[in-house]
Structure 1
């Protein structure tokens, strides 16, 4: 058995989301087929609690093409040169570290890397302690500094901006609940997963 959260966007409260933890039968294994069995069990468990709910798994393992497209690795923006830049690569390229009083970064070259390659870049492992984020998608713009707190605020902002410009954004409104099978709150250092519950169902204003 396993437990995963189901996220239900709401207009009530500051969090803009309700969280329901669901017990379900976990299918072990790294294969996509095993992940999708676990997703189906999770969704079935929530459907028993909330009949009629429309649930979307948002991850690269989603059985729904929309859920795959909305995963953070597949969401992004187009550069002036026409290249697609993922949310993940933008995030990693904006990191600034401090090492013995010296600032290192940001590493803009990571912006052009594939998401997994950017996340695993050796520069990010050997540059010291994370100090803040410096967002500058083009040289024509002044860098914007983002602090580390609130946690995930910068990543959430990147994702919401990408979602706003995505042709998929209106389809999000067809769903009332979201899951991310890869997100285990017992093992994560952040309070919530990305994407941020599909932009809190398209920035909550459309709930």
Structure 2
């Protein structure tokens, strides 16, 4: 990562296949490496006392959202330097730590560990399936952009509203919608790399990571609601 030109967004399809394949390989490698701080963060998160959330769940969630958005902007601002990689790993560590409350809740179920495993496996299956479709077909899924952006905004707004309402049925609908939206983003992001629309490894990794992260969360929430077993 020595020059901005190396990461400048090219005209769609202008890059040679070898360069595009290199970008894809490096993105997948970095994506795999982000799992290390994510797992480390989640291990710490499981053992963290999040009692402050019980006192002010809405404020705590909004503050954490602001922190993660801030880190994402920092990653974007430093994407052409080694600082971008470091901040990306910091972001994934914090994201893993923030899984703590959800994982603690899941482990209260008799089959919580099993459902966490199912959610992780489901996330992996969805990712590899959709990434393979985008890679093998080389189809440009850019046409999904506006639809996915609209869906993302609706999911975020609905989630914020449900922080106040806390209606289980709405939570299920949001989780199901989020699975569809973030699955679509996987197609969209991998397609951009394959077709030369994204050459920055850091930003490509961040985009796919966010889709996987939210997909995992949505799957856990859906599985717990539908299959969770309590005493």
- TM-score, length-normalised on structure 1? 0.26
More strand by percentage: 1
More helix by percentage: 2
- TM-score, length-normalised on structure 2? 0.24
- Structure with greater contact order relative to length (CA < 8 Å, sep ≥ 6): 2
